[in-house]
A and B are shown apart, each in its own frame.
Chain A
């Protein structure tokens, strides 16, 4: 696991550790030289990941529409982890837990019991809509493997897996139309 801190990929970003610290970029910019916008703070990084290339809000940070053209320089491993937390919130921790066999994820029946009566009633009337949302929304838009729907992450040691542990706000938003 520790080797992932030296160099690696997660979703659409890659990083490498050099003598000054960590350099985090979009994978499309992996080999770019001196032409990337420097992102110095976590608040600036938040602005980068908040919008897509057309300036539209990205509520789903794990969607495959992260803009390129920037570089975040982290001076310490803590700054690096916090940067990854901004880009893919919660997902580094999930990946570590997965690799240690400790990741907890939900199952559909438990998910439903946590919803209000209004949502449960809507779901019961929705037929195969939840399955369609998973196929059309989760699997096509989002880079995470939908563990709670039986999907498994691709087995690539060099890449940190992106793992979905339960239906997110976007899932419910799509389900409710």
Chain B
């Protein structure tokens, strides 16, 4: 299947401080480009170059499909991207759902939790699980996605499964108040490479690293999952989102 008259843009956030923030977005764009499905493939960022506006201006295609490199239908996806990628006289823009809204996301989170449990030979009913997400008073979407994910994961039989947040209640920092005893698996609901998943959340949990594995914090044993977003994990999801939109 080929869409030579369509350009694909992976629209991420990026960072002026963290070199890793856009790495996987850019690498994934290169991987998808090599497959020759779309006429052009670009990455674009809110905080890095190219900006969303510059990415559009450089395209030869008249039809653009934008896949949000975000996990939730939150502020950026529903407000910023919808505003930045509007149709012009020259270019028709279509924005898909963010990659985090794909149904496969649940299985990626389940696999992370299963790997952590297997490392200790534990069953789900021996641990609690937290989905650590951003949340923002600007938009409810971020919270909703994390809460839904936690509810889905709860069906696997954990002692409890809840969503916790950086900017909303319940706060990540209060994890030991919420889960008063026993080991806790924490799955970061952040895309890989960003500061939140690699620095902020581990710090709030009181653990010494951000790699997938078990850590001893002052407040107890924490199993930390790897943030989502490696190119090999998201490439197919992105192509399916883009192809579905381009086909309409």
Contact = CB atoms under 8 A, between A and B. Distances in A.
B15 A90 contact: no
- Interface range, B side: 20 to 34
Interface of A: 41-43, 46, 50-51, 57, 59-62, 82, 85-86, 88-94, 96-97, 103-104, 106, 114, 116, 165-166, 168-170, 173
Interface in B8-63: 14-19, 23, 26-27, 30, 33, 42-51, 53-55, 57-59
B53 A104 contact: yes
B83 interface: yes
Contact of B18 (A42, A57, A103, A166): A57
Contact of A62 (B15, B44, B49): B49
A169 B16 contact: yes
A169 B45 contact: yes
Given A90-B54, A166-B51, 10 more contacts: A46-B30, A57-B19, A59-B17, A59-B48, A90-B55, A90-B57, A92-B58, A106-B53, A165-B54, A168-B51
B58 A96 contact: yes
B49 A90 contact: yes
Nearest to B33: A82
B81 to A, nearest CB: 13
B58 A169 contact: no
Contact of B57 (A103, A114, A168, A170): A103
Nearest to A88: B49
B57 A51 contact: no
Given A46-B26, A57-B18, A173-B16, A93 B57 contact: yes
A170 B45 CA distance: 12
Contacts of B50: 85, 89-91
B129 to A, nearest CB: 33
A76 to B, nearest CB: 13
Interface in B84-118: none
B208 to A, nearest CB: 23
A170 B23 CA distance: 18
Contact of B15 (A59, A92, A97): A59
A41 B34 CA distance: 11
9 contacts: A59-B14, A60-B16, A61-B49, A90-B54, A92-B58, A103-B57, A165-B57, A173-B17, A173-B47
A168 B50 CA distance: 9
Contacts of B54: 89-91, 93-94, 165
Contacts of A91: 49-50, 54, 58
B19 A51 contact: yes
Contacts of B15: 59, 169
A170 B51 CA distance: 11
A147 to B, nearest CB: 12
B42 A85 contact: yes
Contacts of B23: 46, 50
Contacts of B44: 90
